Chains A and B, each alone.
Chain A
Amino acid sequence: GEDVEQSLFLSVREGDSSVINCTYTDSSSTYLYWYKQEPGAGLQLLTYIFSNMDMKQDQRLTVLLNKKDKHLSLRIADTQTGDSAIYFCAESNNGQNFVFGPGTRLSVLP
């Protein structure tokens, strides 16, 4: 079946850029998403990208998609302590059935 992989941990210093990587196996993925989860909370949609795009920027967030390599990344510029959370990558081929990665725990050090 489809699989989504992410590295589990990332630590960065406050003010630096964070890059969270994700790979997926489903070549028919049409939609790719990044969600943020803070402790004890639900998931907050950060951004999403269609498979016919290779980049999307939204303020401090930049999403890059390499469809050939099935690789998605999320770059957070000027990372702040409030960005500490778990970031989930998800893919869908129909916009209904989502496959989530294991989540990357981002720790921002002062």
Chain B
Amino acid sequence: GAVVSQHPSWVICKSGTSVKIECRSLDFQATTMFWYRQFPKQSLMLMATSNEGSKATYEQGVEKDKFLINHASLTLSTLTVTSAHPEDSSFYICSASPLAKNIQYFGAGTRLSVL
């Protein structure tokens, strides 16, 4: 149980294009999903907290117009990196928290490479 699916696992795109990453909780409902960014050999950096049916809460320094988050249902949140540039290249990981449980289950991550 408690499986979080993240798709795609790896994406290469040209500079200036937009990329959408999906995060799905497969066997549980999640009112809250989280989006993290991880640089090589570093820990996770929380980008935003996404609550179903409401606007995401972004961490300081994260551009909300650059990283669009949508959490339309209790099992799906999406992160769209708009007008991606090489500096956006990174490993993006989502997590989901089941209702009334104080645990985050993580997706497998998406490696974004912007050329």
Contacts and interface: CB of A to CB of B under 8 A. Distances in A.
Interface residues of B, number: 23
Interface in B46-90: 46, 49
B111 A40 contact: yes
Contacts of B32: 96
Given A42-B6, A88-B44, A102-B42, A96 B97 contact: yes
A95 B103 contact: yes
Report the contact-size class of chain A (Cβ under 8 Å from the partner): 20 to 34
Contacts of B105: 45
A98 B104 contact: yes
B43 A42 contact: no
Interface string A22-47: 00000000110101000011111100
A100 B97 contact: no
Contacts of A101: 43
B102 A42 contact: no
Nearest to A33: B103
Given A88-B44, A96-B49, A102-B42, A44 B103 contact: no
A48 B105 CA distance: 12
Nearest to B109: A42
A40 B49 CA distance: 23
Given A96-B32, A100-B44, A102-B42, A42 B97 contact: no
Interface in A33-68: 33, 35, 40-45, 48
Contacts of B2: 45
A14 B50 CA distance: 41
Contacts of A103: 42-43
Contacts of B109: 40-42
A35 B106 contact: yes
A21 interface: no
A101 B97 CA distance: 19
B33 to A, nearest CB: 11
Q: Ordered nearest first, which 10 A-B pairs have the shortest CB separation? A: A95-B102, A43-B106, A42-B106, A42-B108, A42-B109, A102-B43, A100-B43, A100-B44, A42-B107, A31-B102
Given A45-B2, A45-B103, A98-B34, 16 more contacts: A33-B103, A40-B109, A42-B4, A42-B107, A42-B108, A42-B109, A45-B106, A95-B101, A95-B102, A96-B32, A96-B49, A97-B49, A98-B46, A98-B104, A102-B42, A103-B42
